[in-house]
Structure 1
Amino acid sequence: MSDLKHGGQAIVDSLKQHGVDRAFIVPGESYLAVLDGLYNSDIQTIVCRHEAACTYMADAHGKFTGKPGIAMVTRGPGAAQAYTGIHTAWQDGVPLILFVGLIPIADRQRESFQEFDPIQWFGSQCKRVFILDEVSRSSEIVAKAFHAALEGRPGPVVVGLPEDIIQQPFENQNHPVIPVAQGAVTQSELQSIIDALSMAKKPLVFVGGQNWDAQTCQKLTKFAEDNHIPIIHDWRASDRIPFDSPAHAGYLGYGRADGCADLLDSADVLLTIGTVLGDVASDGYTLRQSFDQVNYVVNLDTSLRGHSGATTSHIAASPISFIKAITEYKLDELDAKSRLSWFNHCHKQQRQDSAFPEITLSSNSYEKYASMTLVMKELVKIIPEDAIYSFGAGNHCLWAQKFLPTKVFPSQLSSRNGAMGYSVPAGIAAALESPERLSVVVTGDGEFMMNEAELSTSVRYKAPILIIVMDNGQFGTIRQHQEAHYPDRVSGTQLQNPDFALMAQSFGAHGITVNSDERVEEQVAEAMRVVSKDRKTVVMHVITDPAELNP
């Protein structure tokens, strides 16, 4: 049954048909018709303070739910500021759809106000760029955008909405949802993998990427534990196997333990699921690059974009479909004793790497420094089992990656392209999607100040988050590189910060200043009480020694 409506309303109706319950926006006059369509919709409209934060939230939503996150911005400057989020979703392979209001068609190629070419801007960093030039195709374009964002290797899609087109009324009929193939694994492929793992003395499974769900993670955990196969995680994707599972062997990438690199190189069979052995995981294409190594790769991306090293066999299947198939098998006991010894060795190393060091409380005078490691240690003591952790880029992330226990999926949200400013928006997206779970944000002073305005978004939409700001008065990661290449010549990395606790209070959040070790335990308890019981966003301003650059 069809009815007369404008293009903006048709787009919103189609979003609802595709299961969208939340959109992250920065408003603009170029897509007023879509905002009008949202007026009577039960899709929650989250008004953000910056376009980068808006797209980060959509990216985090995509990671957290497996469904495309929806972002909406205006043309020109708005689209430019959203570009960082698109690059993040592109490199992480995250489903995201960015709707961008455009100038009227009649104004094209006249250097009109905020004119730009979406295809030239975004074409190299997203899966598809659609321009809605015919209002009758409004619902069709939405359906195709969803399909493009989800098929194969997921990723971002940009939809351009000319201002005049989406205002036009037409007789609309919603386009049906386009099914997305999850791939499959043949009997012979499964048997080949089972045989290789059974004969291996040192098998290793490397996991990451998208197309996971909680049930799939549980199945893989049981399969790995039953068959004594260790699991190692991709960088910033450490929540596929529970932190304390005997199958957990740690993670690869920046900040990884040396032993994890040794595991990757010494494994006689590597089964990669959902991700690829790329630049970061392989330490800049130096780990596991021999062409005589046995590497099975399970990934829906038929091009295996980003993969390095040998490929023994490529199975075009999602983690969900592959793990469902392989967990119906049990390995032969050909090398069970060797496998068990290897299995125990891998997990022992992971437990050692993630253990807190002995901490002697400092005798710092008041208004001095606090230990970030001690803050993490006290937090882990009382954190809920299903807490969600968000962090962006910088040395402060090492504390989150190393110590915070990811025990359920999903529970870790981060950016793998080094995007700063990601942590707070991601934490808000998690709190909105799962308000019953605690959302913890770990950020640095440099990163926090890139999207600190989203504190108002957290407060306005009642999405309480616990934010731990590591303040060492500098861009610490760059300072560390600087010291390595140009010793004793610090330049361009130092910062002047405000009082973050007072800033939090001005937004309506709760602020705590942590500047000595003596009160860390009680201050962490206070933060947990306020965010959990009072349902209020908390900023813990942890002032640390500038020399403390790593855990």
Structure 2
Amino acid sequence: METKTHAGQAIVDSLALHGVNRVFAVPGESYLAVLDGLHGADIETIVCRQEGGAAYMAEAHGKFTGEPGVAMVTRGPGAANAFVAIHAAWQDATPLVLFVGLIPVADRERESFQEFDPKAWFGTQAKRVLVLDEASRASEVVAEAFFAAKSGRPGPVIVALPEDVITHEFTGDLHPPIAVAEGAVSAAELEVVRTALASAEKPAIFVGGQRWTPAAAAAVTSFAEANGIPVIQDWRAADRIPFDSEVFVGALGYGRTAETARIFTEADVLLAIGAVPTDVPTDGYTLRQSLDATNIVVNIDSSLRGRSGAVTAHVLASPVAFAEAIKDLRLGKAAQWDSWRAAGRAAQAAFSALPDLAALPGTREGTGHMSAVVSELVRRLPHDAVYSFGAGNHCAWAQRYLPTNVFPSQLSMRNGSMGYSVPAAVAASLQSPERLAVAVAGDGEFLMNGQEFATAVQYGAAMLIIVMDNGQYGTIRDHQEHHFPGRVSGTQLANPDFAAFARAFGGHGETVTSDAQAAIAVERSLKAVRDQRIPAIIHVITDPAIALP
């Protein structure tokens, strides 16, 4: 007897054809045919606790692998919960494909249960919103979605699935993946780059954005090191150049050093690779805004969305294509740029050096320094650890001290979105279980998606989470004290025992209430992650008076 294939099965088969090994989902009756297709498929279905967590995991997967992360959610409330990650992927240019179940076609525009218009909801924050209205196009729509998510400036794509259409018979062949262009560097463009850098007295390279690979990051690093050109990394994208490279002079954005901003501003030639000078790295459009500046921008985005300041030349190429073009380019001026680079490198090395705990201000009884725990962790980290953090004051410790030695190793949010750290660490741990995934979270940030710790336990994502508990939304409290000193309002938190939380879910939990407890807490937690293969939480109770390292 011939077995007919429904469109839901064709979607799953097409995902497999595109190399998808894992999807992050919260189930819903609106896409049961796709769940049926996943039954027995060689694609792991990670069942998450909330759609925001599932979509964040997909976003982190996109950052970590360069391939679109895939999330699946139901209509109405499910789609609404996932929207936060779509906004994040849009601003971070992360490839992501979100499948959303819809009401049956015949029920449209009748205020049906959980009805919404996906194009109206997602249209301003997604590269494309595709609605599958013909079962025969199921595989083609998947191919179009993956192509749109990956090509040019990457980003999120929504695929909306009416629950009746995906049960209809699929006829035809599976649509193959659509090749994505990397762009190219012409001989004339390479000469423009070479001439500009060779004639510069104070050159600098600015790196970030998407479309990187480990090989591209290594090639750009080699180019910068061989030519002695200082490299500045974009905010929350500080893993393109190794932490200890002699050309790394810091990252821009919140928590930067003055020297990093000085080099960025004073460079007579700035070569931007993958990154564009948006509002955060330019301190709210105040740094390097002269229209007379020489800025060569290498970016596969033909629109250069988000850029500010002058653009002297635009090379339409991905970091991969550009890295290949410049890998053997030698300018012969490294020694002449030593003094220009030295101050920035010294400032960055001092900034990222582990703190002297004895020199730190004392803390209240029953609290410890976040710096003590981070210092003990850094001393025990493997070379290829990967870190995740969302938004809040706690991020200052992560971006300042945790060494990003290889690409990719830093997963974070450029749009200031909270609740990202735990789902991102889950995604990284599942994709590369041989690497240690470390999430750094604040007390407020953790509880936005901390329930995904249960997902980590269920699927064996053995990761370490450090929760900095200062009993408040610290960043907002800082702003509050600046604008309305002494009038604390709407920022205070009463928190649970996060170590007990970890144990309740089947993980390992430690509590740190003094610096003396830091070493053993880190040691035992890493042992649980490494030997027992379970996730762990270190609950660090800190003094709210100490806001930043």
Q: Which amino acid aligns with 1:432?
A: L
CA spacing shift, 1:252–1:57, aligned 2, 3 Å: same
Q: Tell me the residue number matched to 2:99.
A: 99
What is aligned with 1:466? 464
Give the alignment partner of residue 530 of structure 1, picking from 528, 531, 549: 528
Deviation beyond 2 Å, 4+ runs, structure 1: 343-346, 361-367
Q: Is the 8 A contact 1:3 1:173 kept in 2?
A: no
- Alignment deviations for residues 146-175 of structure 1 (CA, whole Å, 9 cap, x no partner): 000011000000000000000011323101
Confirm whether residue 203 of structure 1 aligns to residue 206 of structure 2.
no
Aligned to 1:163: 163
In 2, distance between residues paired with 1:205 and 1:363? 37
Question: What's the counterpart of residue 354 of structure 1?
Answer: 352
Query: Which whole-Å deviations, capped at 9, do the CAs of 1:317-344 have from their partners, x for residues lacking one?
Result: 00000111011211144xx443122122
Per the alignment, residue 222 of structure 1 pairs with 222
Check if 1:434 corresponds to 2:426. no
Change (3 A) 1:55 1:461: same
User: CA-to-partner distance for each residue in 1:94-135, whole Å, 9 max, x for gaps?
Assistant: 000000000000000000000000000000000000000000
Judge which range, 366-375 or 416-425, deviates more: 366-375
CA shift at 1:216, angstroms?
A: 1.0
In 2, Cα distance between equivalents of 1:189 and 1:62: 30
| 3-state DSSP of counterpart to 1:467 | strand
Letter in 1 for 2:242: P
Once the two structures are TM-superposed, the CA of residue 254 in structure 1 deviates from its matched residue by: 1.1
Give the counterpart letter for 1:465 in structure 2. Answer: M
1:261-286 CA-partner distances (Å, limit 9, x unpaired)? 11110111100011210010100000
- Corresponding residue for residue 314 of structure 1: 314
Whether the 8 Å CA contact 1:3–1:171 is kept in 2: the answer is no
On the 8 A contact 2:259/2:343 being kept in 1, the answer is no
Which residue matches 2:146?
A: 146
Separation in 2, partners of 1:227, 1:407: 20
Q: Distance in 2 between matches of 1:322 and 1:384?
A: 30
Asked whether the equivalents of residues 3 and 172 of structure 1 are also in contact (C-alpha less than 8 Å), the reply is no
Q: Which residue of 1 aligns with 2:339?
A: 341
1:282 is matched with 282
Q: Distance in 2 between matches of 1:296 and 1:148?
A: 26
- Contact persistence 2:355–2:375 (CA under 8 A): no
Query: 1:485 matched to which residue of 2?
Result: 483
Q: Which amino acid aligns with 1:315?
A: V
Q: Which residue of 2 aligns with 1:266?
A: 266
The separation in 2 between residues aligned to 1:150 and 1:472, in whole angstroms, is 40
Q: How does 1:444-455 map to 2 (within 5 A)?
A: 444-455=442-453
Once the two structures are superposed, residues 484-540 of structure 1 have per-residue CA deviations (whole angstroms, 9 ceiling, x without a partner) of 000000100000101111111111111100001112112211111111122111100
- SS across alignment from 1:437: coil
- Who is 2:57 aligned against? 57
Output the CA distance in 1 between the equivalents of 2:520 and 2:201: 48
Aligned CA distance change for structure 1 residues 519 and 362 (closer, same or farther; 3 Å): farther
Distance in structure 1 (CA, Å) of the matches to 2:66 and 2:252: 23
Are 1:23 and 2:23 an aligned pair?
Answer: yes
Q: Which amino acid aligns with 1:299?
A: N
How far, CA to CA, are the matches of 1:150 and 1:121 in structure 2? 22
What is the CA distance between 1:3 and its match in structure 2?
A: 7.6
Letter in 2 for 1:228: G
Structure 2: give runs of 5+ residues left out of the alignment.
none
**Aligned residue type for 1:91:** Q
CA contact (8 A) 1:75 1:116 kept: yes
- Give secondary structure in 2 for the equivalent of 1:157: strand
* Deviation of the 1:345 alpha carbon: 2.5
Task: Give the aligned length.
Answer: 548
Selected match of 2:512 from 503, 511, 514: 514
- 1:505 matched residue in structure 2: 503
Report the equivalent of 1:496.
Answer: 494
Alpha-carbon distance between aligned partners in 1 of 2:170 and 2:381, rounded to the nearest angstrom: 53
Q: Which residue of 2 aligns with 1:182?
A: 182
Normalised TM-score (structure 2): 0.98
Question: TM-score if structure 1 supplies the norm length?
Answer: 0.98
**Distance in 2, Cα, partners of 1:331 & 1:323:** 15
Following superposition, the deviation at residue 51 of structure 1 comes to 0.5
Identity percentage over the alignment? 59
Q: What is the distance in 1 between the residues matched to 2:54 and 2:27?
A: 11
Superposed CA deviations along residues 392-448 of structure 1, whole A, max 9, x for unmatched, are 000100000000000011100001111100000000000000000000000000000
Pairwise CA distance, 1:257: 1.3
SS in 2 for 1:100: strand
* Structure 1 residue 365 displacement after superposition: 9.8
Distance 1:43 1:494, change over 3 A: same
Within 5 Å, give how 1:67-106 maps onto structure 2: 67-106=67-106
Whole-angstrom distance in 2 between the partners of 1:366 and 1:399: 20
Contact 1:5 1:172 in 2 (8 A): no
Amino acid in structure 2 at the alignment position of 1:227: N
Aligned partners of 2:363 and 2:369 also within 8 Å: no
Question: What is the identity, as a one-letter code, of the residue corresponding to 2:383?
Answer: E
Letter of the 2:460 counterpart: K
Q: Secondary structure at the match of 2:191?
A: helix
Alignment-mate amino acid for residue 117 of structure 2: D
Q: CA deviation at 1:475?
A: 0.1
Amino acid at match of 2:238: S
Question: How far off its partner does 1:366 sit?
Answer: 10
What pairs up with 1:410-425 in 2 under 5 angstroms?
Answer: 410-425=408-423
1:429 to 1:31, Cα distance in 2 relative to 1, 3 A: same
Q: CA deviation at 1:4?
A: 3.2
* Alpha-carbon offset, residue 358 of structure 1: 1.6
Residue 363 of structure 1, CA deviation:
11
CA contact (8 A) 2:363 2:543 kept: no
Q: How far, CA to CA, are the matches of 1:471 and 1:420 in structure 2?
A: 15
Q: 2:390 maps to which residue? A: 392
- SS of equivalent residue, structure 1 residue 305: coil
Is residue 202–residue 338 contact of structure 1 (8 Å, CA) maintained in 2?
no
**Bigger CA drift: 526-535 or 506-515?**
526-535
Conserved 8 A contact 2:394-2:441: yes
Give the aligned residue type for 1:507.
F
- Alignment-mate amino acid for residue 523 of structure 2: A
User: What amino acid is the match of 2:353?
Assistant: A
- Residues 392/106 of structure 1: CA separation in 2 closer, same or farther (3 Å cut): same
Name the Cα RMSD after superposition.
1.4
Q: Is the 8 A contact 1:364 1:516 kept in 2?
A: no
- The 1:365–1:376 alpha-carbon spacing in structure 2 relative to 1, beyond 3 Å, is closer
Residues in 1 aligned to 2:280 and 2:345: alpha-carbon distance in whole angstroms: 22
Mapped to 1, the partners of 2:416 and 2:512 lie a distance apart of 27
Partner of 1:233: 233
Deviation of 1:389 after TM superposition, in Å, equals: 0.4
